[in-house]
Amino acid sequence: DYQAALLSEYWKHFLKEPHFVGSIIWVFADSDVHRKFTTIYETRCAYGLYDLHRRPKKSAEAVRSQWAR
């Protein structure tokens, strides 16, 4: 899953920074709204950790494994 790999790669680099203090989840779950505004949201993390029906995606597991250490 591309999203899970991307999140893991981000954190790998963020954690190397001495002044890195944490992160937030900007989009918790997918929504159908962003599809109406593809030019704005398509490249700005428009996809959440859970799908439209609130089922966890691989990215949810990536977040859990990152912060459950």
> Six-digit token pair at 35?
């599809």
pTM above 0.85, yes or no: no
| 3-56 per-position pLDDT tens digit | 899 889 988 998 899 998 888 888 888 877 656 665 555 555 568 899 989 999
Query: Which residues, in sequence order, are bridge partners of residue 14?
Result: none
Identify which of 49, 11, 12 has the alpha carbon closest to the alpha carbon of residue 30: 49
